[in-house]
Amino acid sequence: MSKPLILILCTGNSCRSHLAEAIFRRAVGDLADVASAGSKPAGYVHPMALEVLKEIGLDASAHRSKHLSEFLEMPVATVITVCGNADQVCPVFPGQVNRYHWGFSDPAHATGTPDEIRAEFRRVRDQIRLVFEAYAAGLKEASVR
């Protein structure tokens, strides 16, 4: 039996969804396949997102910005939106059982010095980490019942 696919959506698929994808993939382990996509992909993964992931031991350098249409024919078990725009335009996927919206502010819009911008990326990364690691822990607990 194949693992369920959990898809994380954001508008640009350049920052928050990649933070969540990398963090959740590590946290959930072999229980699920994890991917991210966007409704209007930016075409790149934000370099600062890659940097702050590396700080916590995650290498997302192979990630790419993808359109959600790449997943429309796939059996997606769970869709998680991490920004309001993606939540509003989120389609229903074949086989979709669950849908969650956990909104996070977009660190790509941060202004200030490079250190202040990096601090905002870290803040959002840490918020995403708390939510997605807790969700993964719940899935792991449910799988042993």
User: Bridge-partner residues for 105, per DSSP?
Assistant: none
DSSP-derived secondary structure letter, 31: G
Q: Which of 12, 24, 14, 21 is nearest to 85 (CA)?
A: 12
Catalytic residue, candidates 83, 86, 124, 131: 83
Q: Is 15 a catalytic residue?
A: no
Q: Provide the 10 A C-beta neighbour count for residue 115.
A: 8
Report the distance separating Cα 75 and Cα 68, nearest Å.
13
Catalytic residue, candidates 20, 76, 90, 131: 90
DSSP-derived secondary structure letter, 70: G
Amino acid at 143: S
Backbone angles phi, psi at 31, to 5 degrees: -75, -25
Catalytic residue, candidates 5, 10, 15, 20: 10
Q: Which of 87, 114, 115 is nearest to 100 (CA)?
A: 87
Catalytic center residues: 10, 83, 90
